[in-house]
């Protein structure tokens, strides 16, 4: 069982995430029927970390395109975009790029409309700039404990709204 399941199952959540997907994969799925026949109150987008070979502008552009497509297909749904998490035990160029993506999203998402951006990356970087293997066992993928940290924050928000649909 996924650590998020116990919190989100009672909310009738659907998780259409596929491990390893990039923004291009998600866009293709959304353009080819994944949004058909659903009417969620909330859509949570968490995508982009697998686009590590792209520039920050390209990654943010892909996430913005996904958010715009969701808004077009599901105009009554509230959209929450989760920021990219830091990666690597120590500060490094990929971590800097993820922070740049988050800054671009923070600046650009409000122009799309009522989209909420949440950046929880700071929860995992210690004062010395390191990330603990207790949070990310390989300094990229979350441990069950770290998933619970993110899930609890997101769950509290969703309880105020109602049903949601997760794309990652």
- Which pLDDT tens digit goes with each residue over 102-158? 999 999 999 998 899 999 999 999 999 999 999 999 999 999 999 999 999 998 888
pLDDT at 157: 84
What tens digit of pLDDT does each residue of 23-38 get? 999 999 999 999 999 9
Average pLDDT over residues 37-44: 91
What tens digit of pLDDT does each residue of 46-83 get? 999 999 999 999 999 999 999 999 999 999 999 999 99
DSSP sequence for 60-124: HHHHHHHHHHHHHH-TTSEEEEEPPPP-SSS--HHHHHHHHHHHHHHHHHHHHSSEEEE--GGGG
pLDDT class for 162, splitting at 50, 70, 90? low
DSSP state of 9: G
pLDDT of residue 1 exceeding 80, the answer is no
Mean pLDDT of the residues in the chain: 92
DSSP state of 129: S
pLDDT at 29: 97
Contacts of 7 (CB under 8 A, 6+ apart): 151, 152, 155
Delineate the domains of the chain, giving CATH numbers in brackets.
5-167 (3.40.50.1110)
Residue (of 10, 2, 20, 48) closest to 164 by Cα position: 10
- The tokens for 80 are 């929450």
* pTM for this model (two decimals): 0.91
pLDDT at 10: 80
């Amino acid at each position: 069982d996924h650590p998020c399941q116990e919190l989100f199952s009672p909310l009738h959540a659907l998780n259409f995430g596929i491990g390893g997907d990039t923004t291009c994969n998600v866009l293709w799925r959304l353009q080819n029927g994944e949004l058909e026949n659903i009417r969620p109150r909330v859509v949570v987008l968490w995508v982009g970390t697998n686009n590590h070979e792209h520039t920050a502008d390209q990654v943010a552009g892909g996430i913005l395109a996904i958010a715009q497509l969701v808004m077009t297909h599901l105009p009554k749904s509230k959209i929450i975009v989760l920021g990219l998490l830091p990666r690597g035990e120590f500060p490094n160029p990929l971590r800097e790029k993820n922070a740049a993506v988050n800054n671009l999203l923070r600046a650009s998402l409000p122009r799309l409309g009522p989209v909420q951006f949440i950046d929880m990356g700071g929860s995992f970087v210690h004062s010395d700039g390191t990330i603990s293997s207790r949070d990310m066992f390989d300094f990229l993928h979350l441990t069950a404990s770290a998933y619970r940290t993110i899930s609890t924050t997101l769950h509290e928000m969703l309880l105020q709204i109602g049903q949601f649909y997760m794309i990652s």
